[in-house]
Amino acid sequence: MDKSFRTGIGQDLDWWLGFWDDNRSPKEQSAMGLLFTINDKWPYPLKPSEYIRRQIHVQFADDPTAVKARHITGVSTIMWGNDYPHAEGTFRSSADCIAYNFDDTVSDEDRAAILGGTLADVVGFDKSKKLAPVSEDA
């Protein structure tokens, strides 16, 4: 999508499609048309990836690739959640799942954003207030 922002929707601005009539002049080819004349320039002020980072958020439960792709998608687009007991949930302890999904290359800042900071920003929670940890007996 960002390529369309940079170069326009069409791959070739002079790509014609149709049936050429040798009996007509080039300017009178009624059965020919430029293929990429519709929306030949991205009409919005931001790049598509900027809209994605600003407006799209995806939750994952058990997907190390989502964490590894954070440099492509941006940390502000991904949020971890265990979603237990649904089928796509973790079905094991959250601590084990987090350890599996977040390797040693994930910075503390990225980890904090993915594990709750981004969600807090999206819904407007006050991140300055700390919650008491939930006991394992709960």
Report residue 111's pLDDT band, with 50, 70 and 90 as the boundaries. Answer: very high
Distance CA 101, CA 114 (A): 11
What tens digit of pLDDT does each residue of 116-127 get?
Answer: 999 999 899 888
Q: Given a cut of 60, is residue 132 above it in pLDDT?
A: yes
Question: Is residue 39 scored above 50 in pLDDT?
Answer: no
Tell me what pLDDT residue 26 has: 81
Average pLDDT on 105-123 reads 92
Q: Average model confidence (pLDDT) for the chain?
A: 80
CA angle 61, 63, 66 (to 5 degrees): 105
Reading the block at residue 38, the tokens are 């519709």
For the residues 29-38, what does the mean pLDDT come to? Answer: 67
List, in sequence order, every residue forming a beta bridge with 34; answer none if it has no partner: 16
Q: Please list, in sequence order, all residues whose beta carbon lies within 8 angstroms of the beta carbon of residue 123, skipping any fewer than 6 positions away.
A: none
Q: How high is the pLDDT of residue 7?
A: 64
